Amino acid sequence: MLVLLGLAACSTTSRDKNEVGAYPPWLISVVEPAAPAIGMAISQVQWRHGYLDTNTGTLDHVRPKIRPLDVFLFSNKGRLSGHTGAGVFGHSAVYLGSERELKSMGLWNDPAVVPHHDAVRRGQSIVESGQAHGTTLTPVSRLVETDRLVVLRPQIGESRKRAAIVRLFSLVGSRFDHNYRLDESERVFCTELIDLGIPDLRLPRRATYGREIILPDDVALKAVSGDGRLRFVGYLRADREGWESAGPASLAADIRRAQSE
């Protein structure tokens, strides 16, 4: 996710706990026009597959647990983009539902969903906004192409859930926002996609270089803090030796440890 601002906004060694960024503003102003080119270049660099993907049984463990509108946070240190910030998590996505699930919610024939029938039938039920491709639908297998995965569940009513799913389908095709600006929605970055699609979550924001940013780590901490709008469902973490399912206390500890480094 955070590339231009990963050089800045993901740095949590800042002057105020709610403000991120350790570089001089003039440097950001100089670099920002090149943000799309920098972001595209960094997004292409990968030296290994995610550890969850190379360990057997991870997808079989996750797949039965997910529900429509579940939010996912990813940490993949096998990619250059996974090292651009000081936090644990660098990307996010949302599960929109299978054909059966969308039909059961009465959404299969919604005008926003109909153009994506073929993609959903192929198993592309994850919506995400990525540097290389903008906002697209990707396969459920995408969930384990990472080293760590967090699953969170919005606690909202059924009518609001259906409306959120429709909004997220309608955002498919949006261009990626390499400048990470929440004050315009023509282009969208990954946590902004969640913010636009599920505004009831009231995701936490931080200030950086004259703009606001939503960090995936803060979204995770919101869920484990007892906020009530997001419920912790699961946390998988892996290395080359194997993988484990950890609890919310471990998730919070991992994030706090990374923030202190």
| Separation CA 229–CA 189 (nearest Å) | 21
Query: pLDDT class for 229, splitting at 50, 70, 90?
Result: very high
- CATH at 192: 3.90.1720.10
CA distances in angstroms from 259 to 8, 132, 225, 256, listed in the order given: 14, 27, 17, 5
The 3-class secondary structure across 111-148, one letter per residue, is CCCHHHHHHHHCCCCEEEEECCCEEEEECHHHHHCCCE
Task: Flag whether 2 is in a domain.
Answer: no
In a domain, 17, yes or no: no
Quickly tell me which residue has 């869920």 as its tokens: 223
54-99 pLDDT, tens per residue?
788 999 999 999 999 999 999 986 554 554 555 799 899 999 999 9
- pLDDT tens-digit map of 41-62: 555 555 457 889 878 899 999 9
State the helix-helix crossing angle for 190-197 and 158-170, rounded to 10 degrees. Answer: 140
Residue owning tokens 């399912």 = 245
pLDDT classification of 209: cutoffs 50, 70, 90:
low
DSSP code string of 42-83: HHT-BSS--HHHHSTTHHHHHGGG--TT-EEEEE-TTBGGGG
Distance CA 91, CA 185 (A): 18
Q: What is the pLDDT of residue 10?
A: 33
The parent domain of residue 49 ranges over 25-260
SS3 221: helix
pLDDT bin (cut points 50, 70, 90) of residue 260 is confident
Asked if the model's pLDDT at residue 38 lies above 70, the reply is no
Q: Indicate the pLDDT class of residue 24, thresholds 50, 70 and 90.
A: low
Number of domains in the chain: 1
Return the ∠ at Cα 175 (arms to 178 and 35), rounded to 5°.
15
**Is 11 a member of any domain?**
no
Query: pLDDT above 70 covers what percent of the chain?
Result: 77
Greater model confidence, 48 or 12: 48
Q: Does residue 13 lie in a domain region?
A: no
Higher pLDDT, residue 184 or 222? 222
Three-point CA angle 133, 135, 138, nearest 5°? 80
Lowest mean pLDDT among 35-49, 103-117, 132-146, 199-213: 35-49
3-state secondary structure of 206: strand
Q: Quick check: is 169 in a domain?
A: yes
Is residue 174 a contact partner of residue 188, using CB atoms and an 8 Å limit? yes
Say how far apart CA 190 and CA 204 lie, in whole Å.
14
Does 95 fall in a domain? Answer: yes
Question: pLDDT tens-digit profile of 131-180?
Answer: 878 999 999 998 999 999 999 999 999 999 999 999 999 999 999 988 88
Categorize the per-residue pLDDT at 206 as very low, low, confident or very high, splitting at 50, 70 and 90: confident
Listing DSSP states for 2-41 in one string gives: -STTTTTTT----SSTTB---S-HHHHHHHGGGHHHHHHH
pLDDT at 234: 96
Residue 14 lies in a domain: no
What gap in Å lies between CA 177 and CA 189, rounded to an integer? Answer: 5
12 part of a folded domain? no
